[in-house]
Amino acid sequence: MSTFSSFKECFTASAQQISAKERIGRILDIHHFEVKGDLTLIRQNIETTLEKYVKEGVRLKINLAFGYILKGLDKDSYRFFHPSQNHAFFIQPRVIVGPDDITLLLKNLTNDNILEHVYKTKLASNWTVLSVVCFAMRIYKIHDVI
């Protein structure tokens, strides 16, 4: 089996987990995006989504997780690593109250930071990251206590 067909098989088998979707709840919303092309699109998706919450006056905490395809170094094998809160991007979720918070979050979210995080969280040394294919935003809505 060729390298491309092995990669394609892994991607196709994981397509449902990679594709865009969202789950909206009373306290927690999860937005899942497929990454197509440049990692800068990640920032655009985050900005657009967070702006909707801020315009609605929702205060929130956010964390990110990335999904990627790994390639085995010892053989022609591939594995999908799904975005997991066990490997969240921020140590503590970031609080978003207004547009300035979104700007600060995006300023600190660079392609290099994303790739560095992904390489640190990969499974083991006999696997290498081939491609970031998706990411998930976990948004915790902050409700006022009465």
pLDDT in tens, 19-52: 677 888 889 999 999 888 777 888 999 999 999 9
Indicate if the pLDDT at residue 18 is higher than 70.
Answer: no
DSSP state of 108: T
Residue type, 1: M
CA-wise closest residue to 86 among 67, 71, 112 = 67
Cβ(10)–Cβ(79) below 8 Å = yes
Q: What is this structure's pTM?
A: 0.84
Of 4 and 40, the one with more pLDDT: 40
CA–CA distance, 84 with 116 (Å, rounded to integer):
16
Q: 3-class SS at 106?
A: helix
| Predicted local distance difference test score (pLDDT) of residue 2 | 47
Task: Name the band, by pLDDT with cuts 50, 70 and 90, for residue 10.
Answer: low
Cβ(136)–Cβ(65) below 8 Å = yes
Q: Any idea where the domains of the chain sit in the sequence? A: 3-142
